[in-house]
């Protein structure tokens, strides 16, 4: 495995893969101050577009993109698709519970004690942080970030690129529009339009 990103999310992915007995070849990050840094026996090898390391992807190892910024994550996924003809793999913590009846795309990080219940649909390249619950028949689009301890209730739709802050609750049947942001601890009781930011209990538009 080669992990793209050596920040907090990269370390989460590193721990997750090692817990699943996956050999991590190294991490790549565009922050040159991190190059050469070691996390246990795994080093930050170089930049994310370094062909010297990219050539191994798809031949000798898989790739995972662990970047919190959705725009950067999307750019790196596109690069891997086009230059290496690969999709990043899913990274699922060994304590997470993912129903065999749920649907997952590619390149998702599902952290410790997260739950994805039957007939939930998760797109691709999402970040689902520790303790988050996605209830039955909820739909989560591509490049969504669900913060620690979120509750995504049944029948909820979270559209592409949305960000749900730590501990937020999305009430059943609500739609969170494309690119919308929900503040930490909010309780969302009505649908949120694309690109809007809401906060509070009940959540109101800022």
Do 26 and 13 form a contact (C-beta atoms < 8 A)?
no
Q: What is the pLDDT of residues 90-148, one digit of tens each?
A: 999 999 999 999 999 999 999 999 999 999 999 999 999 999 999 999 999 999 999 99
Residue 15 exposed, middle or buried by CB count within 10 Å (0-12, 13-18, 19+): middle
Of the chain, the percentage scoring pLDDT greater than 70 comes to: 100
Q: What pLDDT was estimated at residue 123?
A: 98
Q: What is the pLDDT of residues 150-175, one digit of tens each?
A: 999 999 999 999 999 999 999 999 99
Q: What pLDDT was estimated at residue 102?
A: 98
Q: Please state, in angstroms and rounded to a whole number, the distance separating the CA atoms of residues 147 and 127.
A: 8
Rounded to the nearest 5°, which phi and psi values hold at 184? -55, 135
Find the DSSP H helices in the chain: 8-19, 51-54, 70-79
Domains defined for the chain, CATH in brackets: 2-84 (3.40.50.20), 91-199 (2.160.10.10)
Q: What is the pLDDT of residues 190-205, one digit of tens each?
A: 999 999 999 999 999 9
Do 47 and 30 form a contact (C-beta atoms < 8 A)?
yes
């Amino acid at each position: 495995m080669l992990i793209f990103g050596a920040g907090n999310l990269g370390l989460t992915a590193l721990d997750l893969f090692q817990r699943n007995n996956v050999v991590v070849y190294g991490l790549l990050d565009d922050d040159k101050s991190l190059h050469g840094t070691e996390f246990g026996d795994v080093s930050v090898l170089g930049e994310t577009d370094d062909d010297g390391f990219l050539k191994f992807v798809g031949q000798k190892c898989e790739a995972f993109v662990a970047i919190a910024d959705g725009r950067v994550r999307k750019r790196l996924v596109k690069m891997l698709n086009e230059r290496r003809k690969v999709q990043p793999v899913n990274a699922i913590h060994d304590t997470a519970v993912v129903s065999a009846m749920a649907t997952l795309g590619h390149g998702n990080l599902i952290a410790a004690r997260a739950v994805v219940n039957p007939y939930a649909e998760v797109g691709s390249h999402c970040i689902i942080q520790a303790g988050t619950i996605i209830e039955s028949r909820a739909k989560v689009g591509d490049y969504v970030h669900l913060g620690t301890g979120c509750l995504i209730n049944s029948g909820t739709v979270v559209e592409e690129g949305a960000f749900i802050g730590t501990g937020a609750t999305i009430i059943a049947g609500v739609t969170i529009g494309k690119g919308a942001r929900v503040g930490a601890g909010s309780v969302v009781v009505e649908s949120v339009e694309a690109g809007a930011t809401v906060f509070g209990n009940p959540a109101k538009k800022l």
